[in-house]
Amino acid sequence: MRCPYCSDPTNRVIDSRLGRDGAEIRRRRECHECGRRFTTRERVEEVLPKVVKRDERREEFWREKILLAVEKACEKRPVSADAIEKLVDRIERHAAEIAEKEVTSRLIGERVLDELVELDTLAAARFASVFHNFQNAEDYARFFEKLAPREPGE
C-alpha cells in the first residue's frame, strides 16, 4: 500500500476495525517516510453478475453508479449517508446472491426503487421519474397511486 501523499510503500497499521456490517475492514495507517496518516478499506471481492442494459449491452456491475443515482435521488432529503450506503450494500448483496451470470438493469432498478420507497417516498419518486422516464404529471400521479395502498398499514 503506497502512501497517498508521498507514494512511499512503507507504512504501518495503527488500528484495524470492522466496518459496514462486518463486510469490510478499516485500517488506519501511518507512513514511515512522511509520517502522515491515511485510511484504507479492505473488502472481499465478490463475483457480481454482468448487467444487461435495455439495448442488450453488457456491463460490469458498478456499485458506484447505483450509489450516485441514489444519492442524487436523496439530495436535499432527510436521508443519512449511512442509510444510503446500507441501501446500496443490500442491492449489491442481492445481485451477488442471485447466482446468475447476468442480471437485467431493470431488475436492479426495480430493487433500488423498492428500497427507496421504504426509505423516502419523494426520493423514490425522483428515482422513478428517471428510471421509468416520466413525461408528465400523470406519470407521477400513477406512481403515487401505486404507493397509496402500501402506506397506511405497511
Residues 56 and 39 occupy one common structural domain:
no
User: 29-43, 69-83, 93-107, 115-129: which has the minimum mean pLDDT?
Assistant: 93-107
Does position 10 have pLDDT exceeding 60, yes or no? yes
Sign of torsion over alpha carbons 146, 147, 153, 154: positive
Please tell me the predicted confidence (pLDDT) of residue 96.
Answer: 85
Same domain assignment for residues 109 and 141: yes
Using DSSP's 3-state secondary structure scheme, residue 19 falls into strand
Which of 133, 91, 98 minimizes the C-alpha distance to 115? Answer: 91
Distance CA 10, CA 116 (A): 43
The C-alpha cell at 148 is 397509496
Closest C-alpha to 13, from 32, 4, 114: 32
One domain, residues 113 and 62 = yes
With a cut of 50, say whether residue 152 has pLDDT above it.
Answer: no
Residue 101 half-sphere exposure toward CB, CA atoms < 13 A: 1
| Domain that residue 38 falls in | 11-43
Tell me the mean pLDDT in the region 60-82: 94
Q: Would you say residue 141 lies in a domain?
A: yes
pLDDT in tens, 140-149: 999 999 887 6
Q: Is 119's pLDDT higher than 60?
A: yes
Q: Note whether residue 3 is domain-resident.
A: no
Residue 20 has pLDDT above 80, yes or no: no
pTM: 0.66
For residues 82 and 23, membership in a common domain is answered with: no
> Is 69 within a domain?
yes
Residue 6: inside a domain: no
The tally of domains found in the chain comes to 2
Q: What values do phi and psi take at 4, rounded to 5? A: -70, -10
